[in-house]
Structure 1
């Protein structure tokens, strides 16, 4: 059973997506339902859990309208492993490029990294204590109580001058421990041992070898090689970071990490397949190049993975039955029905995303937590400069971005990056020499018109094309 509190309701998921993505309500509702259905499946009766398959989603819409962002944000909301792949990459070299199963291996790799990071966080306090002891030993080595003969007996020795030395040493160590904790000694240099990874590159002469076999051979040879360590003289602040990572890794059980990561990828993984329209057979019409046999070959190789199959990875075998697949494409030349029928059937939920309007551009500049305006404000704030925008300035920027998309090529919200860059480049260059700290910059409609409108009026739009 999965804890209900760890999974948001569909309405809560949409609210989270609304913080970053403007519009596209139908797409958000569908991905929210698909995500909640995972919790429903894992809390259903044991006999039905294996029978309930995810409703994979096909997003249809022009570039830059938010398809990738919806999938990526969904994965963050769910704390789920996520990987994105372009379907067209499998046709690029006459369909002898990467094996389509590599997307599943990438997902498992992402899952392992997520589980490992969480487990390292769990042992961080313990690892920090070990690191503190290592640094302290490097600064003030502890004294051993020895018998007069110089041989350690393990018995409590009689009081002597060595006891006084030992007590003094302990008091000194405690004083230095406090200084280490407070960061007072972060700039002092010490000599530490750090492990150096020896991962030899392995080449195979003769017949080809699949990706998994190659990874397994490399890992096996790497495991057989003796672990090397080297001495480095670094500042205590840097030593703390180097050693913390190393000691935390020693405290976690990698077998446990692998098992949990496989389960996480199987039950919560999301694979986003972009440009799926490029492998539809009809896309070769009207100028789309490439043989149909190659495109259909990619589709037929994708089919078993999306349907549910076993894939070998270096961490173990993963079942893809309950991975959520989100596919996306513009479908300007081809259409979803150009995909092979079996693959079409594996994406039962189809969502058409709307093209962005002028008002959408305005909202994108203003509302999201990661809005471009807020990003520029944060960057200039780092220089001590305050940047602000008037409402009518944002409206003008939105109008120009929308106009350029209409006149040249519609690349959606990505156009805003180019427009904002051209608007603010001069300011970004002048800070901090000409525009110093504590300066306040207000972007008005007049400034926007002065820097951008002339170019649009003359149809000189070349510099806006990404």
Structure 2
């Protein structure tokens, strides 16, 4: 049984998503239910647990309305391994059917990184102590007390032999290391030499990716581990040595086992541009459609549930949550093969963004564009502020350009904000000095953007 505290309730999940994504309540609600259902399945005590499969989700909506962000933020909320793949890449020249399995391998890789980070945190204190000892041994080599050697003194606090004196000196230096007083001092350390970068294909290049990776790992494991001396600052030495010491303290077999389990039970794979492999997105009956349908049929067993070989072991995809997305401007969901349609039973249509949505996107999210620019200017000790009327004007401008040229959703705000503030960013700190204050007003926005909105040639806004 999993602790209920580890998993948020659907309402709590939506509340977390609301901090970063504006609107799209229906999509948030469905992904929140899907995430909570994982906790419910893993807490089912009967044999039916293995038969409860996730309800995969198909998001339908134009570019820039939040499809990818919802999936990415969902994974962060759940602390789950996440990978994104564009379905259209599997239709490119040189496509091989087994390539679709690469997204599962990528997911396992992400899962391994998550588990390693968690294990590193668990051994952090112990590894830091070992690193301190290594650095101290370099700065002040320990000495063994010599038999019969002693220094008499009436003061009890005076060291009685060389070993005690050495130990007291080491303790003083230990404090200096912990306080960062010696961070700029250079020392020479032994570090593992980096592994060779790949060995190239063998024979006629017919080996698949997992076999190639497995062979490389096996051969690299047989080769003797080399180390080399490096002269680095103590600050850098702490980082380099910490990685090595933490790796020694962690059981990597346990990491692999946990990572596979985590990927199987909590992994999320986001398949973007799935509409590009639907039959309605190209000519009917021949040409590219053959490749598109082939990709769908290669995706099908993975989404249905199959076993995929990775360099960390075999992973079963039965309980991985798949979220697919597409604009479906040319094609429609029914153009996908029926078997694949059936594997995405939950369909959510995302709304196009309005002027009001643009205004909220600029103001409300924790990572709002305005807050990002404020942070960039603050790095130069320049204060940047936006008047509320200015935010409304920026939102209206972005919306108008989307209407006239091409609707790229919230991404339009990036180009508008860039055009608005690039001159200021160029002038800091040469012209605009530190401690200056910049106020973005409605008049300033109109002055810099109005002429471009009226100009029909808006090619510079097309990304």
- Shorter-chain TM range is over 0.9
Shift of 1:95: 3.1
Q: For the residues of structure 2 that align with 1:214 and 1:163, how far apart are their CA atoms?
A: 62
**Could you tell me which residue of structure 2 aligns to residue 283 of structure 1?**
281
How big is each residue's C-alpha offset from its partner over 1:228-270, in whole Å with a ceiling of 9 and x where there is no partner?
Answer: 1111111111111111111111110000000000000000000
Q: 1:420 aligns with which of 417, 421, 441?
A: 417
Write out aligned runs for 1:109-128 (5 A).
109-128=109-128
Question: 1:95 aligns to what?
Answer: 95
Residue 298 (structure 1) aligned with residue 288 (structure 2): no
Residue 285 of structure 1 and its aligned partner are, at CA, apart by 4.1
Q: How does 1:151-300 map to 2 (within 5 A)?
A: 157-160=147-150, 164-199=161-196, 201-203=198-200, 204-285=202-283, 291-300=288-297
**1:307 matched to which residue of 2?**
304
Change (3 A) 1:441 1:87: same
TM-fit CA distance, 1:140: 0.5
* 1:97 Cα offset (Å): 7.5
Mark the CA change 1:290 to 1:28 in structure 2 (over 3 Å): closer, same or farther. Answer: farther
Deviation at 1:205, TM superposition (A): 2.1
Residue deviations 1:77-136 (CA, integer Å, cap 9, x gap): 000000000000000116337710110000000000000011001101000000000000
How many Å apart are 1:188 and its aligned residue?
A: 1.1
Distance in 1 (CA, whole Å) between partners of 2:286 and 2:374 is 44
Task: Show the counterpart of 1:48.
Answer: 48
**1:386 alignment partner in structure 2:** 383
Contact 2:356 2:395 in 1 (8 A): yes
Deviation of 1:198 (Å): 2.4
**Once the 2 structures are TM-superposed, how far is the Cα of residue 189 of structure 1 from its aligned partner?**
1.0
- After TM superposition, the structure 1 stretch with the greater mean CA deviation from structure 2, 5-14 or 93-102, is 93-102
TM-score normalised over the length of structure 1:
0.95
1:289-318 superposed Cα distances (whole Å, 9 cap, x missing partner):
952111111001100000001110000000
Secondary structure of the 1:50 match is helix
Deviation (angstroms), 1:283: 0.7
Do the aligned partners of residues 290 and 357 (structure 1) sit closer, same or farther apart at CA in structure 2, a change above 3 Å counting? farther
Q: Please tell me whether the aligned partners of residues 189 and 233 of structure 1 are also in contact (alpha carbons under 8 angstroms).
A: yes
The structure-2 alpha-carbon separation of the partners of 1:94 and 1:337, relative to structure 1 and needing over 3 Å to count, comes to: farther
2-side partners of 1:392 and 1:198: how far apart? 56
Note if contact 1:197-1:227 (Cα within 8 Å) is conserved in structure 2. Answer: no
Shift of 1:184: 1.0
Distance 1:201 1:377 in 2: 43
Residue 80 of structure 2: aligned partner: 80
- Quote how far apart the aligned CAs of 1:165 are: 1.8
Q: For residue 440 of structure 1, what is the aligned residue in structure 2?
A: 437
Task: Tell me if the contact between 2:394 and 2:416 (Cα under 8 Å) persists in the aligned partners.
Answer: yes
Distance 1:361 1:7 in 2: 31
Task: Assess if the C-alpha contact under 8 Å between 2:283 and 2:289 holds in 1.
Answer: no
> 2:30 corresponds to which residue?
30
Query: Contact 2:20–2:367 at 8 Å: present in 1 too?
Result: yes
Distance in 1 (CA, whole Å) between partners of 2:186 and 2:205 is: 51
Q: Give the Å deviation of 1:46.
A: 3.3
